[in-house]
Structure 1
Amino acid sequence: MIPYGKQAICQADIDAVLEVLQSDFLTQGPKVPEFEAKVADHVGAKHALAVNSATSALHIACLALGLEDGDWLWTTPITFVASANCGLYCGAKVDFVDIDPQTYNLCPQKLAEKLEQAKQEDRLPKVLVAVHLSGQPCDMEAIHKLGQQYGFRIIEDASHAIGGKYKGEFIGSGRYSDITVFSFHPVKIVTTAEGGMALTNSDELASRMNLLRSHGVTRDQSLMTHEPDGPWYYQQVDLGFNYRMTELQAALGVSQMDRLDAFVARRHELAKRYDHLLAYLPVTTPWQHPDSYSGLHLYVIRLQLDNISRNHRQVFESLREQGIGVNLHYIPVHTQPYYQAMGFTAEDFPEALAYYREAISLPMFQGMTDEQQKEVINALKSALSTGGG
């Protein structure tokens, strides 16, 4: 089986983890700050806070921005459920903005229309989560302008996008958002096994997220309500969580970051070959905005079903039967039973639904060989009933 995504682990990664295992610290040691500094320096952000998952990062980002009961969080329906669930964790209500049919990201034009209507109805969002699907950044400049106009805060869910750029700057620099979130799950570009990170240029937001990721407990006297009883003293000053990253995970992340640029460059090589090899098949290949340099976590095609004798499911199952580990990113969040119980219907966001009915994620990972890519193409040709390779 050729998987849709896979980590790339080298001997240097293994050695880095073994070094931590033989050290004095397995948690709360020097490796987490080293990893944070390495990522922050790479992307040009002031602060980086490593946590145990991107979901945890989204949660504390929402809390740091003051999202609470009665507020609204908006995001895209084409994302993993965590991009919306983080709002529910805070007691907020969640709504969605339909996608751009070219980038599959949240559409700024549809966002502007929805904001104008929401203003009239007094239900503007407090937080907007802009998801960089497949690693291609959203139109952040347009979204930021709308944020200034309507007063909402912005989280970039860049779980797919580390190493990518928008308008020549690394995603995560924070020029157009309050907080950026990265994921380090094994299928992502850089891995720490499980893990995530929140980045910001705000001292206040960084301090708040730092507190929230570790039980709301601090030894910082400036945050305490009264003088400490002694050198052993700590205070819980907020209701936080155990969202810390371990030293083992951070050591792996430090080592992986040395190869980030090479990882992304290889993904671009594979994407260009896909673009060429798929040019004459009845599929739509990913469109890349000229202002962006995608992290290319995913390579998503859309089937041109009017030109194919098989349906979406048949093509997908045929690929799996031939040993190609395709996937579908994503089932629209608003069609999930939990969200349908809130009143959403599948037809609420037609572009997202149209995408879901045609999309297939082909294998894309930095260790993928040219021969494996040819296998994928030949299997796809067979699945589309257009002949073998």
Structure 2
Amino acid sequence: MLPYGRQSVDDDDIAAVVSVLKSDFLTQGPVVPAFENAVAKKVEAGFGVAANSATSALHVAVQSLGVGPGDRVWTSPITFVASANCARYCGADVDFVDIDPNTFNMSADALEHKLKDAERNSTLPKVIVPVHMCGQSPDMQRIAGLAKTYGIRIVEDASHAIGARYLNEPVGRCRFSDITVFSFHPVKIITSGEGGLAVTNDPSLAEKMSRLRSHGITRDAEKMTRPADGPWYYQQLELGFNYRMTELQAALGISQLEKLDHFVARRHELARRYDERLEALPLVRPHQNEDSFSAFHLYIVRLKTDDADLHRTVFEKLREQGIGVNLHYIPVHLQPYYEALGFRHGDYPEAERYYRQAITLPLFPGMSEQDQDDVIRVLKATCDECGL
């Protein structure tokens, strides 16, 4: 089975991890700060805060912005559940903004309309979490303008998008947000095994996130509420979590970061080949806005049909032929947990239509052109067989 995504790990990556295994620190050593600084420098942000997953990074990000019970957080319905769950971990309510059918990102038009209604109803969100679906930035300039008008903070869920650019600047520079979060899961652009990282230009937010990811503890005498009892002393200032990244993960991350530009360039090469060779098929290929340079974490096509049964048939036939397609994502509001909170079919029509049509094709740097040609051949034959 050809997977939809796969990590690319070489001897340099292995050597980096082995070097940590031979060192004095497996956790809470010098490599994690080095990784944080390297990522922040790469995306031109002021500070980086590493965590054991992007989910953890999202959690401490929204909590550092003061999200708690009684607050509201809005995100996209087309994303992994973590983009919404991070707010629920804080006791906040979650709502969604429908997607732009071209980019699959949060629609700025839908956001503007929803904000006007929310202002009238006194239900404005405290934080918005736009998702960089597939690696392409949402319309962050417009989203940030709307957020400023209504006094809302922004966390960019850029789990798909390290190496991407928006308005010719790196995603993660935080020009249009308070915090940006990246994922280093094995199928993402680069990997640290598991892991995530939040970047920000605000030193107080960086300090808050760093403390929250490590039990809410500080050893900084200036932050303590009373004098230290001795050199061993620390204080827990708030309820935090054990979300720390290990030295092993950070070593792999540093090594992978050196290959980031190459990985993204290869993804673009493969995406262009898909674009050219799928042109005649009854599919909607990915749309790329002129103001964005995608990291191309995913290559998603949409079938030109609203027939959910036909969509499933095509999907299953591709898998039967060894093509490991996937579907990113089931609309979050249709998950049983969120339905129990009151969400229903029909709440976000564009997201639900997308779900009836979308198929994620294999795309990863180690994928050969022969692998890709096999995907295209099987996809064409399947579309013909299904009468598309």
Query: Which band: TM-score by shorter chain?
Result: over 0.9
Matched, 1:201 2:201: yes
Matched, 1:358 2:357: yes
2:305 matched to which residue of 1? Answer: 305
Q: How does 1:75-154 map to 2 (within 5 A)?
A: 75-154=75-154
Quote the sequence identity (%): 60
The separation in 1 between residues aligned to 2:308 and 2:60, in whole angstroms, is: 47
The separation in 2 between residues aligned to 1:68 and 1:257, in whole angstroms, is: 34
Q: CA deviation at 1:309?
A: 12
The separation in 2 between residues aligned to 1:274 and 1:198, in whole angstroms, is: 32
- For the aligned residue pairs, the C-alpha RMSD in angstroms reads 1.2
1:169 matched to which residue of 2? Answer: 169
Listed one character per residue, the Cα deviations across residues 282-324 of structure 1 (whole Å, up to 9, x for unaligned) are 0000000000000100000000127x99700000000100001
The separation in 2 between residues aligned to 1:264 and 1:293, in whole angstroms, is: 10
Q: CA deviation at 1:381?
A: 1.1
Normalising by structure 2, what TM-score?
A: 0.98
Aligned to 1:199, the other structure's residue is in SS state strand
Task: Pick closer, same or farther for the CA change 1:310–1:91 going to 2, 3 Å.
Answer: closer
2:274 matched to which residue of 1? Answer: 274
The separation in 1 between residues aligned to 2:189 and 2:2, in whole angstroms, is: 17
The separation in 2 between residues aligned to 1:282 and 1:119, in whole angstroms, is: 42
Matched, 1:330 2:337: no
The separation in 2 between residues aligned to 1:14 and 1:309, in whole angstroms, is: 44
Task: Pick closer, same or farther for the CA change 1:31–1:384 going to 2, 3 Å.
Answer: same
Q: How does 1:359-374 map to 2 (within 5 A)?
A: 359-374=358-373
- How many residues get paired? 386
Unaligned runs of 5+ in 1: none
2:243 matched to which residue of 1? Answer: 243
Aligned to 1:274, the other structure's residue is in SS state helix
Following TM superposition, the consecutive aligned residue runs of length 4 or more in structure 1 with deviations greater than 2 angstroms are none
The separation in 2 between residues aligned to 1:257 and 1:309, in whole angstroms, is: 40
The separation in 1 between residues aligned to 2:343 and 2:211, in whole angstroms, is: 35
Q: CA deviation at 1:385?
A: 2.1
Listed one character per residue, the Cα deviations across residues 76-108 of structure 1 (whole Å, up to 9, x for unaligned) are 000000000111100100000000011110000
Report if the CA contact (8 A) 2:308-2:357 is conserved: no
The separation in 1 between residues aligned to 2:382 and 2:6, in whole angstroms, is: 23
Unaligned runs of 5+ in 2: none
The separation in 1 between residues aligned to 2:174 and 2:221, in whole angstroms, is: 29
1:253 matched to which residue of 2? Answer: 253
Q: How does 1:378-389 map to 2 (within 5 A)?
A: 378-385=377-384
Report if the CA contact (8 A) 1:310-1:384 is conserved: no
Aligned to 1:49, the other structure's residue is in SS state strand
Aligned to 1:28, the other structure's residue is in SS state coil
**Which letter does structure 1 place at the counterpart of 2:291?**
D
The separation in 2 between residues aligned to 1:285 and 1:134, in whole angstroms, is: 13
Normalising by structure 1, what TM-score?
A: 0.98
1:8 matched to which residue of 2? Answer: 8
Aligned to 1:348, the other structure's residue is in SS state coil
**Which letter does structure 2 place at the counterpart of 1:100?**
D
Q: CA deviation at 1:38?
A: 0.7
Report if the CA contact (8 A) 1:55-1:196 is conserved: yes
**Which letter does structure 1 place at the counterpart of 2:223?**
L
Q: CA deviation at 1:386?
A: 5.4
Task: Pick closer, same or farther for the CA change 1:149–1:377 going to 2, 3 Å.
Answer: same
Report if the CA contact (8 A) 1:309-1:384 is conserved: no
The separation in 2 between residues aligned to 1:182 and 1:299, in whole angstroms, is: 19
The separation in 1 between residues aligned to 2:91 and 2:20, in whole angstroms, is: 39
